[in-house]
């Protein structure tokens, strides 16, 4: 019972904290559309940064896949040469 009361009080505090965030937006005297524009700009900037990061990772993956393919071909050639030489000797 005490545990349930504590959970309810914690939930109430969380709701008040969330509501106070919205009240802060209203009390600071800055029009809401300015807040929305700032949030939109922040979102777009973070999105652009993440897209650049993903693109660089994809390019790095392609380079590594190409390097792996080249190394696999080299290994295959060396194995073939080894097999040829081992049959001679």
Domain boundaries, the chain: 1-30, 31-89
CA distances from 25 to 28, 70, 87 (A): 6, 57, 81
CA pseudo-torsion sign 3, 8, 11, 12 = negative
Task: Quote the tokens at residue 76.
Answer: 């295959």
What pLDDT is stored for residue 57 in this prediction? Answer: 97
Report d(CA 89, CA 83) in Å as an integer: 10
Give dist(CA 75, CA 89) in Å, integer.
21
Single pTM value for the model: 0.54
DSSP E strand stretches across 22-84: none
pLDDT band at 77 (very low <50, low <70, confident <90, very high): very high
Using one digit for the tens of pLDDT, what is the confidence trace for 14-29? 776 665 566 666 677 7
């Amino acid at each position: 019972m005490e545990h349930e009361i504590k959970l309810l009080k914690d939930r109430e505090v969380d709701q008040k904290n969330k509501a106070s965030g919205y009240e802060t937006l209203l009390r600071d005297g800055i029009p809401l559309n300015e807040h929305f524009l700032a949030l939109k700009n922040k979102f777009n900037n973070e999105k652009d940064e993440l897209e650049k990061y993903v693109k660089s990772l994809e390019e790095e993956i392609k380079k590594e896949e190409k390097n792996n393919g080249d190394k696999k071909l080299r290994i295959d050639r060396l194995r073939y040469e080894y097999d040829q030489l081992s049959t001679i000797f």
